[in-house]
Amino acid sequence: MSYTSHAAPTAKNTIFTLIRRLHFYIGLFIAPFIFVAALTGTLYVLTPQIEGFIYKDVLTTEPQGNAQPLSQQIVAARHYAGEDTLIYAVRPAPSATDTTRVQFVDNKLGASESRSVFVDPYTLKIKGDLPVYGTSGILPLRTWLDGLHRELLLGDLGRNYSELAASWLWVAALGGVILWLGTRPRRKVKSQKGRFAAARHWHITLGLVLFVGLVFFSATGLTWSQWAGNNIDKMRAEFNWMTPQVNTNLQSQNAPVAIDPHAEHHGAAPIPAPAKQQDSMDGMDMSGMDMSTASTQTPAKRQNRADADWNTVLQAARAAGITASKVELRQPKAADKAWTVTEVDRGWPTQVDAVSVDPNTFAIIDHVWFAKFPLLAKLTRWGIDAHMGILFGLANQLILAAFGLGLCVMIVLGYRIWWIRRPAVAAIHPAQTLLSCWQALSIGWRGITLLIAVVLGYCLPLMGISLLIFVAIDIVRWMRNHHRVSAHQQAQDC
């Protein structure tokens, strides 16, 4: 870019210069984070089949007549894990060739992780013992890739990298489209040739093709973020856009409460601590049981008794309309709470219905049907599942892989454009900066852009912080160039 012209810039040119400078800074400083997020996300969505192959012996079995009752499968798992180990959830075998997962609480594991014992439904043989993560129930390979994508395996500190990438991704995409609209030829001209022209052509082409996806993944990624995600949750709660959750209170007929559909990614562990004394009798068939003996048992033993009514609860849920093959059962968390049976199939069509079951009468206390979710709650569910590559199965995976690789190529091309056009010698005239471009705007446009920056900085804190850093860098650069110009002029005067 040449800075030899001293003609007063028009408002349009000044705005484009501001957008161009911001687009350049995003590409220079934020693009590496976006590149890593895109690459690790691509690896994650391509690995379900690989994980299934690696853990095939754990996940599958050979049908051998009729499966044993679910309660007997749980007894086998508890005998293996230890009688005092607290059950977190149970996922019955979804098909004749699958194993049953009995998930136990393990305080040694990370947030949203549980210890899963895999039981052969026919022989009651223990097929495996592995940690699983989140509602999706992914195994160690994909859990590692998920942590790499989300936080670079650095915990909460690492989550800032992915939030920074998601905060700026949509701005970079929108800014690129605006620059293209404002600078594209209004008539056909002879196509340019050369390395720069080719890199610029494909950078722009990929940006336009991927634009909708860039905005989509930026928005859905922010819902998982640490700082912006909290603001999004507050807004959704304020407008009653949260996902309904089945009511488990036996003493209340209140409407279903709301739940965050991706709380497992926020770093909050939903795995319960060992049951307290008053929680010990939840969900158990107490008929014929010596109460004096029960009072001397440990809480974990009483909550995990072999005669817990797993079969009856599952049958009641099936009769109430829980039809998905993939379901999860959870015992009552307190004396006045109910069982829950939840569908966990997030493919298409989405099956995430849930019911709560009275532990005494096995009557249905409450139900939540996905078909009756508010539209925004449905869109949130679908958006999250599409982001994870599970909504439409293999097709979803291939689309995400193509998108992720395309984004990586586009970033590399952006760096190539900068490298080819980088100046051999720094310009003498002070470069246009974000601050100087903003000052050249009219008072009205200054107010509008400042308001937008403040609002976005508040809603997306990492964007606000990094924007201040951009401005500070530009100011320092302008000051250095200003001193250089002064020195050059003094040399000429001499």
pLDDT tens digits, one per residue of 296-307: 344 445 455 555
- Please give the torsion angle defined by the CA atoms of residues 315, 316, 319 and 322, in that order, rounded to the nearest 10 degrees: -90
Q: Is residue 188 part of a domain?
A: no
Is residue 261 predicted with pLDDT exceeding 70?
Answer: no
Query: Whole domain around residue 367: which residue ranges?
Result: 245-388
Question: Which is more confidently placed, 196 or 122?
Answer: 122
Mean pLDDT of 52-60: 97
Please give the structure tokens belonging to residue 387. Answer: 């982001």
Q: What percent of the chain has pLDDT over 70?
A: 80
Alpha-carbon gap, residue 134 to 436, rounded angstroms = 48
Q: Which of 70-74, 169-173, 257-261 has the lowest average pLDDT? A: 257-261
What pTM did the predictor assign?
A: 0.83
Is the N-terminal amide bond of 349 cis, ω within 30° of 0? yes
Say what the pLDDT of residue 18 is: 86
Residue 239 exposed, middle or buried by CB count within 10 Å (0-12, 13-18, 19+)? exposed
Look at residues 489, 396, 106 and name the one whose alpha carbon lies nearest to residue 269.
Answer: 106
Is residue 85 predicted with pLDDT exceeding 60?
Answer: yes
Q: Is residue 25 part of a domain?
A: no
State the helix-helix crossing angle for 443-459 and 228-238, rounded to 10 degrees.
Answer: 90
- Residue 429 binned pLDDT confidence (cut-offs 50, 70, 90): very low
- Residue 311 binned pLDDT confidence (cut-offs 50, 70, 90): very high
* Backbone torsions φ then ψ of 327, nearest 5 degrees: -135, 160
Q: Is residue 292 part of a domain?
A: yes
Q: Is residue 277 part of a domain?
A: yes
Residue 192 — left, alpha, or beta (φ > 0 → left; ψ -120 to 50 → alpha)? beta
Question: Is 201 within 8 Å of 420 (Cβ atoms)?
Answer: no
Q: Is residue 403 part of a domain?
A: no
Q: Is residue 468 part of a domain?
A: no
Q: Is residue 315 part of a domain?
A: yes
Number of domains in the chain: 1
Residue-averaged pLDDT of the chain: 84
- Residue 488 binned pLDDT confidence (cut-offs 50, 70, 90): low
Q: Is residue 133 part of a domain?
A: no
Kindly report, residue by residue over 328-351, the tens digit of the pLDDT.
999 998 889 999 999 999 999 999
